[in-house]
Amino acid sequence: MNFLTNDKLLIVGAGGMIGSNMAQCAAMLHLTPNVCLYDIYGPGVEGVTEELLQCAFPGINITWTTDPKEAFTGAKYILSSGGAPRKAGMTREDLLKGNCKIAAEFGDYIKMYCPDVNFVVVIFNPADVTALTALIHSGLKPNQLSSLASLDSTRLQEAFAKEYNVQQDKVTGAYTYGGHGEQMAPFNSQVRIDGKPLSEFGLTEERWQEIRTAAVQGGSNIINLRGRSSFQSPAYLSVKMMEAAMGGEKFTLPAGCYVNDDKLGFHNVMMAMPTTIDSTGVHYVEPVGTEDEIAALQKSYQHLTDMRQEIIDLDIVPAVSEWKNDNPNL
């Protein structure tokens, strides 16, 4: 059996629905034969491990633990869904305080036990600030840590595919940037439907707003339909991000990345950007859009700075001017 790497992949929060699905996706994509599942709830993560072993994936060694030192030591790649899930009536921002404290501890474990980790993907909400918190506490370089943001773009792509009754992969250029929350900035100026510019389809502003809302509220819709937050889509997309970091197919959907850019006017935030993830990490380029789209992105950025200030006020991370004391790479 051929694998992308033999290095240790750690999945944090593996006893939950996202974590267990990430583990299965990683096994099915043959990322590595060395998989460790970590969760604070022993029976849950042991049960996940038992199920995966009963799948009889060839060549894969799957272990589990509730001990963070055992879990993180030697890990070269980490996927973390180790926060509280979103429930009906909640926004992603409602999870901020509790999950950012978890993210701070997660970053501390990286610094203590696996400072030589290659790449980390943070999934749990609000992903922009949990990932930022983890980055500050971990001491990693910005290109070594990303957050899941592509799900917003695939939801926008899905909404366009339904609107024009085409296969979803026939929709290109449907991307959302900025925050992974109610203030995300969906772009449509680069959208093409089966190769044709969206401008040829006579989309009204009213209908665009309905499509936009479908994307922004995509997570809430899943909760309403299934009675729980998304787990299959975030699991698969985050594993595809990790596949790219391990040297597999490049990941080119928007991903969350650390931005501190004078030209763009965005400073000291994690946000979705036009990105590529490959074996060298996550890298972004300047977004292309209309004046209105860029204005929406700037508004989303402002919302991210407001949430950043909240975690500073809660003493979860220090003031921006002091970040280099915890992470010299920032």
Give, for all 330 residues of the chain, the pLDDT tens digit: 799 999 999 999 999 999 999 999 999 999 999 999 999 999 999 999 999 999 999 999 999 999 999 999 999 999 999 876 656 665 555 778 889 999 999 999 999 999 999 999 999 888 999 999 999 999 999 999 999 999 999 999 999 999 999 999 999 999 999 998 788 999 999 999 999 999 999 999 999 999 999 998 888 888 888 988 889 999 999 999 999 999 999 999 999 999 999 999 999 999 999 999 999 999 999 999 999 999 999 999 999 999 999 999 999 999 999 999 999 999
Please tell me the predicted confidence (pLDDT) of residue 83.
79
* Domains of the chain as residue ranges with CATH: 8-147 (3.40.50.720), 150-313 (3.90.110.10)
Gap between the Cα atoms of 62 and 45, Å rounded: 11
Q: How open is the CA angle 300-218-157, to the nearest 5 degrees?
A: 85
Give the residue among 304, 308, 307, 271 at the shortest CA–CA distance from 286: 271
How much helix, strand and coil, in percent to the nearest 5, is found in the chain?
45, 20, 35
Cα–Cα distance between 33 and 46 in angstroms, integer?
Answer: 18
- pLDDT, residue 92, reads 53
Task: Please give the pLDDT value at position 150.
Answer: 96
Cα distance between residue 297 and residue 154, in whole Å: 18
Q: What is the pLDDT of residue 133?
A: 97
pLDDT of residue 180: 84
- 284 φψ region: left (φ > 0), alpha (ψ -120 to 50), beta (else): beta
Residue corresponding to tokens 């922009």: 128
Angle at 187 between CA 185 and CA 192, to 5 degrees: 160
- The secondary structure of 169-233 as a DSSP string is GGEES-EEEB-SSTT-EEE-TT-EETTEEGGGGT--HHHHHHHHHHHHTHHHHHHHHHSS---HH
pLDDT at 183: 87
Helix (H) or strand (E) holding 328: none
Which of 52, 5, 80, 8 minimizes the C-alpha distance to 238? 80
